[in-house]
Structure formats: C-alpha cells, structure tokens
Structure 1
C-alpha cells in the first residue's frame, strides 16, 4: 500500500527501524460489544447447563409447578375437611332422639297354633269389668266360635279365679302345653297375642285348662 493510500494517521508504529521495516501493524480500535460478547456467551451456556441439571435431578418436573400443586392440594384438603365433618355431624340425629329409620317393634306372635287347638277343653271366663253379663256373653261367643267343652262363667275373685284387678286388659291365661288352645281362644275374642300368658295357677286348676280375664267389656 502506498503512503498516499494509507488511511490512518501516523503514529509510533510507523517509525522506520533499521532495515526499513515498520515497527508494527496498525489495527483499528475494538468496539465494546466485541469485547463483551464472549463473556455473555459463556454466561448463557453456564445457565443452560445449570437449568438442565436441575431439571434432571427433579425428575423432569417443574419445581415451581410442583410447589404450586402441593400447596393447592393442601389448601383443598384443609378447606374440604372441616366443612365435610361439620356436614356429617349435622346430618346425624342428636343422641337420645329416635331415628327416622328406626324399625318398628316386632309383632308378638301367639304362643301356639290356633288350628291345633283342643276345642273340647274346659274354659273359665271371669268378669272384672264392673258391667254385668260380660262373662255370660263371652261364653256364648266362644260356643259360637266352635268350642264344645264346658265354659264356666263367673267373676274375678271366685274360687280358683284371678283376683280382682289382676290385669288391666283382657287377658287369656293357660296351663302347660295349652298354648294352641289359648291362641285359638284369644283369636276368637280379638285379644292381642301379647295378652296371652302361661299361668301356673291355671296349670294347677282342677278342671279348667284356659281362663279368660275380662277387665273391660267386649267391643260392640
């Protein structure tokens, strides 16, 4: 390059040395970006390597996402738990009060089979209702129902009869192994099965196998 075509101002590198060669070669000043970009490149590469290592160690899950999921799950459990427990307590009936679904008490069954009754058994009918003629009316009803044995009509307090006030409701009493006959008598007189009872006194009676105690007059 000729001196006239050299674009840079002269400096110490243009001073000739013995032999005629220049001391150095002039270079244009370097810009700030050209000096800084290698450091930026190194920083980006290091950050990428660090992020890749964190992702690998955490099993591929996003740490922020995992933290958010755990906090959301804990919040949902905390908010749902008390409300569900309160709802469950409110739905149960208070202690001591009957439940709406409580089962009805079982119906008491007769102690025997009315179809197997001894229709010729001796029966005693005793009135304690305070109304006259009740024992005779019951004796007639039993005869009409097919009982063919002797039917004694009397009053409470008679010999070998129940005492006055012994029962608050109409009751059929029977001796041992007379459950079938007692059931048939109670059924004929519309006396509930719960009021059919075995009695040692009736079992010891010299003639009667069944006794009917009328605390109230018959209906109708």
Structure 2
C-alpha cells in the first residue's frame, strides 16, 4: 500500500516487521453518535422508571380516593335515613293524630247505629218490672201483641198491655208519626231499654205528662210501623 492511497497518518503500527506484515490495522474513527447513545439509553431507562413510579404512585392515590369514596357516598346515607326517619316520625305523628280522631270511640256513631240521637237514660239501669202499654197506631194487625212478646223475650217481666191507639187513658190515634217510646217520671232508663230492645231511635224517646198521669202504665210504646222496618 502506497502513501498516496493510505488515508491514515503513519504511526507505530506502520513500522515494517520481518516478513513484510504490518504491526496493526487501523480502525475507522468513532462517530459522535456511537459515543452518545449509551448515555441516551440510560436517560431513557431512567425516564421510563421515573414514569412508572409516578404512574404507580398516581394509581395508589386513586385507589386511596376510591377507597375513600364509599365512605363519602355512605355518609349521606345516615343523613338521608335520619331525614327519612324525621319524615316518617312527622308522618307517623300526623297519622297518629288523625288516627286518634278516627279511632276514638264516641257516643255519636253508636247512637247513629241505634237509629239517631243519644238515649235519655242508661238501659243497664232499667226497671224491668214496670208496666208497659204497647199501642198499635197503624203498624199492622197483631203488631202490638208481637211487640209485647218481643219485650218479654228481652227480659221485661212486668205487665205488658197490647192495645190500639185511642184506648182509654192511652195516646190518641195519630198523635205521633214514627215509632215512639214515652215515659213518665223518672223512668228514662226503662224507656231507653225498651227503645233499645225494639230498635227505636233515641230521638223518639221522650218524657210525657200523659204517661205520668196514667194510673198503671209507666212506659208507652206507640207503633206506627213494625219495629225494625
């Protein structure tokens, strides 16, 4: 190889040795990239490790937030429950107040079931031995006798007179327009028991001077229609 075609400067490797062979062989000079790429590789690896660490830490933070979120979502629950309980309590009170008004027993419904206003006396205190006059004033043939039998079956043990209206010392015919019980003196309890046994309205149980003046009868039953019809 001549000096005109050898591109490397002469050095100790060009010294001839016995046999004519060169001591060494030159290599091409290294480029800047070949020197820099190991550092770039290290930088990329470090960047990847750093990114992975940040991602892991970020994921851990999200998991922490996720773990905390159920607590946050559950915490309104008790408030809602408390609110619901308050609403339920208020509703319960309102319903209870309404229920008290609706469930309290009153005399009026039972009186309505009996056919009208309150009875003037207490049937439980009736004198079952009192003499009763039963007067038929258009209720139908034999109705006075049937009613007298029914009163006896109800426990009245005194005399019961089945008569027609207009009889001596009794009520005049047409004196009332509905089945009525009249009593004299202090026989309100007995008259109330008679009306209760026959289903006559408490509004039609009245005190009467005519009954008080009767020589024997203390209660009158005046029938315009069959009792219970």
Q: TM-score, normalised by structure 1?
A: 0.51
**Poorly superposed stretches of 4+, deviation over 3 Å:** none
Per the alignment, do residues 219 and 200 of structure 1 end up closer, same or farther by CA in structure 2, a change over 3 Å counting? same
Per the alignment, do residues 131 and 141 of structure 1 end up closer, same or farther by CA in structure 2, a change over 3 Å counting? same
Match for residue 207 of structure 1?
216
Mapped partners of 2:218, 2:160: distance in 1: 11
Match for residue 202 of structure 2?
193
Q: TM-score, normalised by structure 2?
A: 0.49
Match for residue 170 of structure 1?
179
User: 1:219 Cα deviation (Å)?
Assistant: 3.5
User: 1:130 Cα deviation (Å)?
Assistant: 5.3
Question: Would you say how many aligned residue pairs link Structure 1 and Structure 2?
Answer: 115
Mapped partners of 2:141, 2:118: distance in 1: 32
Contact 2:134 2:162 in 1 (8 A): yes
Match for residue 144 of structure 1?
153
Match for residue 113 of structure 1?
122
**Which runs of 5 or more residues in structure 1 are unaligned?**
1-105
Contact 2:199 2:228 in 1 (8 A): no
Contact 2:199 2:227 in 1 (8 A): no
CA offsets, 1:97-142, max 9 Å, x none? Answer: xxxxxxxxx6621111100000000000000115210100000000
The answer to whether 1:217 aligns with 2:226 is yes
1:118 partner SS: coil
Which structure has the highest helix share of the two? Answer: 2
Task: Compute the RMSD of aligned alpha carbons.
Answer: 1.2
1:154 partner SS: strand
Mapped partners of 1:180, 1:110: distance in 2: 9
Contact 2:139 2:223 in 1 (8 A): no
After superposition, residues 1-220 of structure 1 pair within 5 angstroms as 108-129=117-138, 131-219=140-228
Contact 2:195 2:202 in 1 (8 A): yes
Mapped partners of 2:223, 2:198: distance in 1: 11
Match for residue 48 of structure 2?
none
Match for residue 4 of structure 1?
none
Mapped partners of 1:131, 1:174: distance in 2: 23
**Which runs of 5 or more residues in structure 2 are unaligned?**
1-107, 112-116
2:151 partner SS: helix
